[in-house]
A and B are shown apart, each in its own frame.
Chain A
Amino acid sequence: MTREALPEEFYQLMEDLQAVDFVLIELNLYLDTHPEDLEALKQFNTFAQQSQALRRTFEERFGPLLGGGKSFSTFPWAWKEPPWPWQI
């Protein structure tokens, strides 16, 4: 990634992912205290799939989101490149 200002698409894709992952965080906490709510569990799995698809789209365009081998890297090593979350 470059040191230039990021395109609008970066922010849109990031926010789409933040929204889907936020639903997952909420359902995760809910399921921690409601482990037998089947509807919530199905919704969790649906959103987990959506999240993976969105993450793939983002990463193809803007580089890896997850460290430690949870995301693939292009050449040269892309993980260490900005922007970091607090910089965008």
Chain B
Amino acid sequence: MAFTNRKTYTPFIGRYDPCQPIRVKTYETPPHLYLGFQPPGLEQFSPKEALKRGTLWKALYSPYTSPYGDYR
């Protein structure tokens, strides 16, 4: 299975739920949850790229965009 930063689940939808149901809900599982104690010599971003992304380490980079664009 491919690695993902975002997992999904399908909540129960009640007959009388007043808001338009979101059928598939999501939550974030960023890469540090899987890395363990960081091994030496991991790949790095260039300094400019590291500043832009917020980390030097490619293995810890975790992009985030609002999931609400994907809903409905």
Q: In the complex, which residues 8-55 of chain A have their Cβ closer than 8 Å to any Cβ of chain B?
A: 15, 18-20, 22-23, 26-27, 30, 33-34, 37, 39-40, 47
* Closest A residue to B40 using CB positions: A37
B41 contacts A23, C-beta separation under 8 Å? no
Name the residue among A19, A26, A40 with the largest chain B CB count within 10 angstroms.
Answer: A26
Q: Assess A18 versus B38: contact at CB under 8 Å? Given A26-B56, A26-B57, A27-B56.
A: no
Residue of B with least CB distance to A20: B47
Within 16-72 of B, Cβ neighbours of A (below 8 Å) are at 37-38, 40-41, 47-48, 50-51, 55-57
**Chain B min CB distance to A55 (Å):** 15
- 16 further A-B contacts with Cβ under 8 Å, apart from A22-B47, A39-B40, are A19-B47, A19-B51, A20-B47, A22-B50, A22-B56, A23-B56, A26-B55, A26-B57, A30-B38, A30-B56, A30-B57, A33-B38, A34-B40, A37-B40, A39-B41, A47-B47
- What is the interface of chain B, defined by CB distance below 8 A to chain A? 37-38, 40-41, 47-48, 50-51, 55-57
